[in-house]
Amino acid sequence: MGSAILQAFSAWFETTRLSWYLIHHPWVRPASETLHLFGIAMLIGVIGAMDLRLLGVAKRLPFAPLYRLLPWAISGFAICLATGSLFFAGAPFQYIHNTAFWLKMLFIALAGVNIFLFYTTGIFRNVEALGSGDDAPVGAKVIAAVSLFLWIGVMYLGRLLPLVGEAFVACHV
């Protein structure tokens, strides 16, 4: 059932003006890929620095200055979401038949759950006041390690997209 709905949605999406525009303007894809890379750098740069600090790297740095950079990470995620949506809109079938795409979406969803747990379990309250030289609690270290694993996985799976299966073989050749 779900597969039929996804197929129908993708078939419809390919007929939209947005999809047509993306296919017929060759500059849009490379421009979007460049913006996507900037978004990844913003997101992973900030989240990675925060996670590494929680894991004990650069312990002389208080957590608060890193946390103040969080809006940059959120902006980076928004850029990636927008440009990733453009990639999908330009050729939905190359994504829905690609295992790496679905694994990437799973990793992003799990990263969202990890962030949710960071804020709802009280772990954030335990780390927001970490000062210079303070060690993060074990729960924060687990959240940070899972976060690093998932976001590195998202990047890895994104790079695998054109290499897995045959979905990208006939892509805009």
pLDDT tens digits, 40-51: 999 999 999 999
Quick check: is 169 in a domain?
A: no
State pTM to two decimals: 0.88
Task: Give the pLDDT score at 4.
Answer: 85
- Answer whether residue 77 is part of any domain: yes
C-beta of residue 46 within 8 angstroms of C-beta of residue 72: yes
User: Tell me, what's the pLDDT at 91?
Assistant: 86
Query: Domain for residue 173, yes or no?
Result: no
Structure tokens at 86: 């453009």
**Which of 73, 74, 96, 78 lies closest to 36 in space, CA to CA?**
78
Tally of domains in the chain? 1
Whole-angstrom distance between the N-terminal and C-terminal Cα of the chain?
32
Q: What is the pLDDT of residues 47-69, one digit of tens each?
A: 999 999 999 999 999 999 999 99
- The amino acid present at 83, given as its one-letter code, is T
On whether residue 171 sits in a domain, the answer given is: no
DSSP state of 127: H
Flag whether 130 is in a domain. Answer: yes
Tokens of 96: 């829905």
Tell me if 133 is assigned to some domain.
yes
Distance CA 46, CA 26 (A): 32
Residue 90 lies in a domain: yes
Angstrom distance (rounded) from CA 99 to CA 95: 8
Q: Does 52 fall in a domain?
A: yes
- Note the pLDDT tens digit of each residue in 15-44: 889 888 888 898 998 999 999 999 999 999
Domain that holds residue 110: 2-163
